[in-house]
Amino acid sequence: MWGWFSVSCTSEGAARITLPTFQENPTEEQGVAVDLAQDLIQRLHSYLDGEAVSFADCPLDLRGLSSFAREVLAACRDIPYGEVRSYGQLARLVGSPRACRAVGRVMAQNPLPLIVPCHRVVGASGSLTGFGGGLELKRRLLALEGVDVDMLGHRKGD
């Protein structure tokens, strides 16, 4: 069992996903974003059942985030299912090769985990580092995608 997720959408797109808790949080259906929220819930169920689900076509509501944060989240969103990238690789992809820690801060504040798959971002050596839902959940999500998490720490740094 994964627990309860929360999905919030606006007319602009997905705005927030909370990571699982074991305390039920009833869904409130309001506004025009209900269809998107229901679609996301269905996709999340499929993903957690082990299907390689794409969220690439899901509109996002990233208002209030800096342009740097949006660039980092876009680069993270491009990480394919079953693959990982390091914070340094993401920093280079957004044209800020020395901004590994800033990338880490953006990942820590990611409002849309799973849609923007921050669990696919690892340390330079491949080590599992930081995740809002805890490292055990990060490990489970990567394993669900077929990533050999025990071999990640044996990568060469970037």
Active site residues: 118
CA–CA dist 107, 124 (Å, integer)? 15
Write a three-state SS string for the chain: CCCEEEEEEECCEEEEEEEEECCCCCCCCCCCCHHHHHHHHHHHHHHHCCCCCCCCCCCECCCCCCHHHHHHHHHHHCCCCCCCEEHHHHHHHCCCCCCHHHHHHHHHCCCCECCECHHHEECCCCCCCCCCCCHHHHHHHHHHCCCCHHHHCCCCCC
The two tokens of residue 147 are 């990533």
CA–CA dist 3, 28 (Å, integer)? 18
